[in-house]
Amino acid sequence: MINLFEGSNPSLSAPFEAACHATKPGFNSPQRRYTVRLRKLRSQVTKRIIVAANRLPVRQVEGAWERSPGGLVSALLPILEKNNGVWIGWSGSADETIEPFEHDGIRLIPLTLGRQEVDEYYLGFSNETIWPLFHGAIRTPAYHRHWWRTYQAVNKRFAEAIADASTGEELVWIQDYQLLLVPKYLKEMAPGLDVRSFLHIPFPPVELYARLPWRQEVLEGMLDADVIAFQTERGAGNFISAATTFAGAAATDRGLVWSGETHRVVASPISIDTAEYERVAGLDETRQKVLSIRADLGNPEVIFLGADRLDYTKGIDVRFRAYEAMLERHPDLAAKTKFVQIGVPSRSTIKDYVEVKEDIEQIAGRINSTQGSRHYMPIHYLYESLTMEDLVAYYCAADVMVVTPFADGMNLVAKEFVASRIEDDGVLLLSEFAGAAQELREAILLNPFHVDGIASKLHRAIEMDGEERQRRMKVMRQIVREHDVHRWARSALGSDLDVVTA
């Protein structure tokens, strides 16, 4: 067994501490105050860890398994490797049965999903019911009883797979909105397990959550975890309101009391592998790529950059409209600036995703024809998935990073951009509605619904003097250095957590 916490003594940064005293509206009382008790993390993980997530941490590329990109995977794999851990998840293809195997020293247990399960559990209930509802109903959630039944059945299968892989002594860490019912099913099968959950997406205000026909069942599914973690204080507070309103939980100083047990509710913002972004940003190869990206774009004075999974929650359409409004106000900037947008293909069979893709392409086409010329196209749009190394080159080539989600659990792109700016340069425009805005207070914060407001902020970013840019970026870099994904994972797996209390 290993001690993951030797020598760790994190004290939270000022911005996060400030966020820990946020005021938020409750369901019945308009202004309820949530506070967090801050405690030092001196805990030890001595248990073997089982992670359950919708997807495995690897993907098949040309017939071979390779590690998936992303902070969660890079933070957890070393921990799992050291403590003989296991990861249970879906391979990403329907009807694919794969025997458990080892990768990078970790035991992976693939769960087979049939075509109907993919359609109803993953595409349906997870991504057309919970996803839009939890992101503020920015698209209308669909409520289908057969999707709900399949979601229950697949969550039960995940619980069975965990119970099969466990000796009854492990710490089980359940990831995200696809597996909200797993804690309940698992506790029924193996009551002694230490079960923790982490929701990567926002938990909505109770007025919205109230619409879910299965609101009580979903809360009961989540409440059986010993620790229930959210990205932000606001998400944790919203969950407490919902659990007390619809599931009969009682909020106390130590956590939520439900069914005779106390369940800790915590805010634990996820982060990135900051050192790795810094390392890649500092490579000669990256510098070369930066020069060629800028040259290929015609060496404009200012490059705006957006990089997102192509999702309707990201506000890509609005940021294009804002750019257009800025060019209309300042026609001299047309030939001097360029907006590069990377859209990573995602969930592309879902109607709302098809529509948002068409929308974005149509807006980009219109702007390029009205604001561009034979020699100049203001928007450069790439619909593809880039390697981490290429993405870092784009982060370093940009002058202004534009992050405009209407709702977002965290938004790691904002943190990745900051970590990559090793010369303390560049400006970050960041939606107030991204979890990252709770920590990155030195970004230019914006309301993603306000086209003219964003247009003014794009212009302000261009005008910002070098000294201010440096000062802001320095503060933000310090934050992502101190709060990286390794610290997040250690704190999430520790036993002495910051509890959110009502």
Report in angstroms how near the CB of residue 394 gets to ligand F6P at its nearest: 19
Contacts of 360 (CB under 8 A, 6+ apart): 310, 316, 317, 320, 341, 343, 381
Name the residue number minimizing CB distance to ligand F6P: 200
For position 443 contacting ligand F6P by CB under 6 A, the verdict is no
Report d(CA 210, CA 241) in Å as an integer: 11
Report d(CA 363, CA 375) in Å as an integer: 19
Q: Binding mask 61-100 vs ligand F6P (x if CB under 6 A, - otherwise)?
A: ---------x------------------------------
- Cα–Cα–Cα angle for 234, 237, 242, rounded to 5 degrees: 125
For position 135 contacting ligand F6P by CB under 6 A, the verdict is no
Give buried/exposed letters for 55-88 (b at 16+ CB in 10 A, else e): bbbbeeeeeebeeeebbbbbbbbebbeebebbbb
CB 175 within 8 A of CB 126: no
Report in angstroms how near the CB of residue 176 gets to ligand F6P at its nearest: 5
Closest to ligand F6P by CB, 325 vs 419, is: 419
For position 347 contacting ligand F6P by CB under 6 A, the verdict is yes
Report in angstroms how near the CB of residue 169 gets to ligand F6P at its nearest: 28
Report d(CA 301, CA 378) in Å as an integer: 12
Helix, coil or strand: residue 494: coil
CA 144 to centroid of chain Cα atoms: 26
Report in angstroms how near the CB of residue 131 gets to ligand F6P at its nearest: 8
Report in angstroms how near the CB of residue 366 gets to ligand F6P at its nearest: 29
List the one residue from 13, 35, 152, 346 that touches ligand F6P (CB under 6 A). 346
Closest to ligand F6P by CB, 176 vs 498, is: 176
The candidate with the shortest Cα–Cα distance to 185, out of 228, 230, 217, is: 217
For position 484 contacting ligand F6P by CB under 6 A, the verdict is no
CA 193 to centroid of chain Cα atoms: 26
Residue 169: φ, ψ to 5°: -115, -5
Report in angstroms how near the CB of residue 135 gets to ligand F6P at its nearest: 10
CB 165 within 8 A of CB 50: yes
Closest to ligand F6P by CB, 378 vs 435, is: 435
Closest to ligand F6P by CB, 135 vs 457, is: 135
Q: Binding mask 190-229 vs ligand F6P (x if CB under 6 A, - otherwise)?
A: ----------xx----------------------------
Closest to ligand F6P by CB, 5 vs 209, is: 209
Note the maximum CA span of the chain.
70
Closest to ligand F6P by CB, 32 vs 59, is: 59
Within 137-196, the residues that bind ligand F6P by CB under 6 A are 176
Size of the site for ligand F6P (CB under 6 A): 8
Report in angstroms how near the CB of residue 436 gets to ligand F6P at its nearest: 13
List the one residue from 55, 139, 263, 338 that touches ligand F6P (CB under 6 A). 55
The candidate with the shortest Cα–Cα distance to 270, out of 96, 110, 74, is: 74
Helix 233-246 to helix 215-223 angle, to the nearest 10 degrees? 120
Binding positions for ligand F6P, rule: CB under 6 A: 54-55, 70, 176, 200-201, 346-347
